[in-house]
Amino acid sequence: NSASKSIFVSEAHICEAYERYLVMDRYYAQRIGHKAVINTPIFKDTKTPDPFVEIFNDTESNRAAKVDHIYMDETLFGAAASCLQVTMQATDVSEAFTLYDQLNPLTPIMGEKPLKHNAYRIPKSRVSPINTYLCESNAEYNDSPIVYNKEYYNEMISAGVPSPLAQHIAYLFIRDPVVISRDKLDQDLETESEHFEGIQSTNWQTMRFKPPPLNQQSIGWRVEFRPMEIQMTDTQNAAFSVFVILLSRIVLKYKLNFIIPISKIHQNITTALKRDAVNRCKFWFRKDIFTQNTPQINCFKENRNRY
């Protein structure tokens, strides 16, 4: 692969029409100074060699590969190979906020670097759980520290954007764009939103809030549920996809409340990475999902029976 230097994935495996991915692939390798290095711990059964060691004909790969790990050297393995995403269109922005917030606590269960010149010191990757709820009624549950562009935040607040949404967007804009199309550098900002999409689409979080494109009136407010892993069959993928859609309808119809502190969702994500976590581990979860009363955040510490 001339773009990523991968020994596993050739350019023949990537759709030629998806030029943007090839550009991102090349840019990523250039930016970090070497090809991608992914080492995933191997799950050992009775037939797994111990130690598990892979030998390659490539010196760089042999140096990067770890013992008892599966070695991969292409962003394709993480960017697309194991991701099942479900996008829902809401009736309005308020419903989109509700779906974004209420489905977020389910992301751990359903799915198991500083910038150049140190403009911001960012504790989280572009690929990570979300940082904030969007509904103002859930703002007190945003208890994890967040780095965001204060200049952009203040500008949005002055324009009347709700604080949680302004903080979310200002967080996205602490990063520089991964890909910029030469023919789209100059845009009419009143009718085009390609610059925003360039940042939005290269922050790969467990949920994505998607405003309508300025130049496509037929597309409304959307929410994307992103943590699930791809399954072995189309039927299984369809089952998970339909389940998420049905769950979203139930949340809206019965006004369910799954909200817990963001910090507990981050803990759940860490738990979800363990093997068979959904059956063997415990997750933080709200007990009373039918009440709309939002307790003070200190109630979480003082009254654990809420969770």
Written as one letter, the residue type at 256 is: L
Task: Using the predicted structure, report yes or no on whether residue 297 has a pLDDT greater than 60.
Answer: no
Residues in the chain: 307
Which of 184-188, 214-218, 298-302 is modeled with the greatest confidence? 214-218
Place of tokens 């965001």: 148
Domain membership of residue 231 (yes or no) is yes
| Residue 6 resides in a domain | no
Nearest to 4 by CA among 55, 58, 40, 54: 58
Domain end among 29, 56, 78 = 78
Amino acid letter, residue 249? R
Position 3 in a domain: no
d(CA 73, CA 64): 9
Cα–Cα dist 112/281, whole Å = 12
Residue 116 clears pLDDT 50, i.e. is over it: no
DSSP states of 94-163 as a string? HHHHHHHHHHGGGHHHH---PPGGGS---SS-SEE------SGGGGGG--S-----HHHHHHHHHTT--H
Mean pLDDT, the chain, integer: 84
Q: Which of 56, 78, 100 is the last residue in one of the domains?
A: 78
63 and 204 both lie in a single domain: no
Q: What are phi and psi of 224, to 5 degrees?
A: -115, 125
Structure tokens at 182: 């030469």
Tell me if 2 is assigned to some domain. Answer: no
Most confident of 9-23, 83-97, 112-126: 83-97
Domain boundary among 78, 103, 122: 78
Question: Is residue 298 one of the residues assigned to a domain?
Answer: yes
238 and 207 together in one domain:
yes
Phi/psi for 192 (5° steps) reads -130, 145
pTM of this structure: 0.80
Domain that holds residue 211: 82-306
Is residue 258 domain-resident? yes
Note whether 116 and 260 are same-domain residues.
yes
Look at the chain and report how many structural domains it folds into. 2
34 plus 110 within the same structural domain: no
DSSP state of 40: E
Tens of pLDDT, residue by residue over 188-215, are 777 788 888 888 888 889 999 999 988 8
Q: Burial level of 277, CB count in 10 A (0-12/13-18/19+)? A: middle
Please say whether the beta carbons of 105 and 77 come within 8 A. Answer: no
Tokens of 173: 């804009």
Model confidence pLDDT, tens digit, residues 175-191 = 887 777 777 778 777 77
Q: Which residues contact residue 58 at a Cβ distance below 8 angstroms, ignoring those fewer than 6 apart?
A: 7
Neighbours of 19 (CB within 10 A): 12
Q: Are residues 128 and 195 in the same domain?
A: yes
Query: Do 148 and 296 sit in the same domain of this protein?
Result: yes
Q: Same domain for 94 and 171?
A: yes
Question: What's CA 160's distance to the chain center, in Å?
Answer: 27
- Same domain, residue pair 123 and 60: no
176 and 43 in one domain? Answer: no
Q: Give domain status of residue 87, yes or no.
A: yes
**Same domain flag for 50 and 129:** no
Residues 252 and 297 occupy one common structural domain: yes
Task: Note whether 135 and 23 are same-domain residues.
Answer: no
Q: Tell whether 281 is covered by a domain.
A: yes
